[in-house]
Amino acid sequence: MHRAQRREPVTVEVTPGTRVTERWIPVERVGLYVPGGRVAYPSSVVMNVVPAQEAGVGSLALASPPQAEFGGLPHPVILAACALLGVDEVYAAGGAQAIAMFAHGTSSCPAVDVVTGPGNIYVTAAKRLLRGLVGVDAEAGPTEVAILADDTADPAHVAADLIAQAEHDPMAACLLVTPSTELLDAVEAELGKQVPVTRHRERVQTALTGQGVVAVVDDVDAGLVVVDAWAAEHLEIQTVDAAAVAARVRNAGAVFVGTWAPVSLGDYLAGSNHVLPTGGTARHSSGLSVSAFQRQVHVVECDRDALTEVASRVAALGGAEDLIAHVDAVEVRLR
């Protein structure tokens, strides 16, 4: 999937003798953040590293929180994933301080050009503050899911997917949007069965109690209005004609269509990227991809005849803006 995102140069002859080439150039150095406060995320190593490598980035640095039980190093599964992917610059640093390290640089870690990766509210706040000093991807964290489901949805599946998202973080947000009170009752019953037996039930219960929301709507059309307004990181569509409904979604980090495409699949093996915009930023931001590690550069070429052809129009525009030196810079070439 990420290899398919590579962009080739495109050249357009705008007029005879004038060519503009769009080039995609990788940034020189990136800082990749992999969270590790409550659990280890080797999948986030993959999701950060692979698009950077496919983009052609030459220098990759990765940071993940130190673990007391492993001598202050990042979790062994993080280090193993790095080794498998050929990443040999790894820092035991977590939270806002890791993002600051990447942005400002230290005596042992040169500053980077772009910082990517999911994290908690402190990581997200640090990325927001440092945007501009370095490029950043979308604000990815804390995590969230919205599920738009009608009475054809399997309540056990819906409940399991809410629990799976709540398992990430006590601040994980879970939204169920449905026109069916019967489904809602069935999902609540399933949660009553599944939550007590899940491994991280305390964390799940905290998230669902504090950040869980139900929206009962008139129909699926009204449900689409709700989920578009929330612009969730993950959106599941479990309705009749799920693909047709999904095609109408405008705002979401990633959309999972039908009962056989849970968010868990996208987290690990679907081929999509799980570093996605949260907190409503899916209205204007996208998930991590190869383009996050590249810059678009326009290369302009023009010969004398082509410049002569457009000189009068350049003069008209420059005169309208009272930027006469712009006009002179063209005319001096044609004398």
Residues annotated as catalytic (active site), given as ranges? 233-234
Contact 253, 278 (CB under 8 A): yes
Please give the Cα distance from 312 to 75 (Å, whole number).
65
Contacts of 265 (CB under 8 A, 6+ apart): 256
Torsion on CA atoms 111, 115, 119, 120, rounded to nearest 10: 70
Number of helices and strands in the chain (H, E): 12, 13
Amino acid symbol at 243: A
All residues at 6 or more sequence positions from 38 whose CB lies less than 8 Å from its CB, including other chains:
168, 169, 203
CB atoms closer than 10 angstroms to residue 268: 12
Using alpha carbons only, how large is the chain's radius of gyration in Å? 25
In this structure, what are the phi and psi dihedrals at residue 147, rounded to the nearest 5 degrees?
-125, 120
CA diameter of the chain: 85
Residue 110: Cβ within 10 Å count: 14
Query: Cβ distance 295 to 56 under 8 Å?
Result: no
- DSSP sequence for 134-151: BEE-----S-EEEEEE-T
Cα three-residue angle 41-44-45, rounded to 5 degrees: 100
Whether 224 and 249 have beta carbons less than 8 Å apart is answered as: yes
